Amino acid sequence: MINVAIMGHGVVGSGTAEILINHPGRIEKATHTAVNVKYILDLREFPGLSYSDKFVKDFNIILNDESVRVVAEVMGGINPAYDFVKKCLEKGKSVVTSNKELVAAKGAELLKIAAENNANFLFEASVGGGIPVLRPIAQCLAANEITEIFGILNGTTNYILNKMIVENMDFDSALALAQEKGFAEKNPAADIEGHDACRKICILAALAFGKHVYPEQVETEGITDITLDDVEYADSFGCTVKLIGHAKKLENGKITATVRPTLVSRDCILSGVNGVFNAINVRGDETGDVMFYGKGAGKEATASAVVADMIDCVKHLDTRKYVFWEDGSADYVDNSCDEPTRLFVLLRGDNYDELVAEFDSAFPGVSCVKNKFKNEIAFLTDGEKPSVTLEKLSRLKNIKSRKILNTMI
């Protein structure tokens, strides 16, 4: 029998405990040994649960019990999670986590500590909830050089955008509905400002390209400025609006890493990913494009991924799973590349006729959507370098405001 512990009994922690405790036969069949949840760490009281005798409030009880071989960290946040995980690994205990914030900030360091102490540090649940994506990248696609990863990494923002597109809801109403249904937190900033997707693209890029990517290196923009006008203009160009996380290997050995609202062509499979679903495209030099799709969050889905990692750790108590990447550097991520691409541009002016005249002069022959009532022009660039587009826009004198979005066309 192998003893394990769970740190945290929130949504994911309770789901993890329920799977392990309620399905012992299923777990034993997978591990070929009994797995016993010996401790659950939480400062709160949970009277009435069938396993209430397992709760402890002192982390050191778990740390100093040599019979506990595998620990699941499902508390979230950096502190005290980082300190607890680090100490467990230093004691030779394998750790699994769903904590994307922790892995994005401290992944390289914790993987190194795990290797030094012959322990495993696994985090499948940190990206995509129950979607198996990290293990396939590390194992099934190991014969490939991964050149690019992109996709819809946050279910909350995808749900909000879908409501705006399909039901013509404004952003605030769609957000309120997401909160009502439990898809968005009371404080939704991490989702709607792009931070959640940023942490996930950090982890994906680090695993795929072999070097740590820090959240502050990722050019991140959320969906708070997306309006129904943007959605309508996107539709007129045969596109839909999605929040896309993107990482790509450059020829100079560096990478780009971004999270941005993006106009996605209806011909692209990502345009049909709706609701709280995620979809992650991994591009390998041998396989081409491989897509991973499913619900990216939720108690059961995320707990399933946590337990799967715990099973993996139990099966490899005396051997290490090779999951590793080097620490990154300040100049590793370069988002200044100026490759030709199509951009969506929305211009607003005070004088419609002057706006149209300046646009026609700067962008001759470029088709556009004109709105005289709102003094607006929306268009897609022809695939020139962004620097060229920006230089043309700088010459326009009658622009009150402008919005520029990336496209996948």
Catalytically active residues, by annotation: 200
Report the distance separating Cα 20 and Cα 313, nearest Å. 14
Q: Which two tokens stand for residue 28?
A: 């034993």
Report cis status (omega within 30 of 0) of the bond before 132: no
* Strand extents, DSSP E, 236-360: 239-249, 255-265, 277-284, 288-295, 343-348
| Long-range contacts of 132-136, Cβ-Cβ distance < 8 Å, separation of 24 or more | 132/292, 132/305, 132/308, 133/204, 133/280, 133/282, 133/292, 134/203, 134/204, 134/207, 136/282, 136/290, 136/292
* Residue 76, Ramachandran bin (φ over 0: left; ψ between -120 and 50: alpha; else beta): left
What distance in Å separates the CA atoms of residue 223 and residue 231, rounded to the nearest whole number?
12
Tell me how far apart the alpha carbons of residues 228 and 149 are, in angstroms, rounded to a whole number.
28
The amino acid at residue 133 is V
CB 373 within 8 A of CB 229: no
Alpha-carbon distance of 147 to 285, in angstroms, equals 7
Secondary structure, 3-state, 188-199: CHHHHCCHHHHH
Separation of alpha carbons 409 and 407, rounded Å: 6
- Please report, to the nearest 10 degrees, the dihedral formed by the alpha carbons of residues 356, 385, 144, 317 taken in order: -80
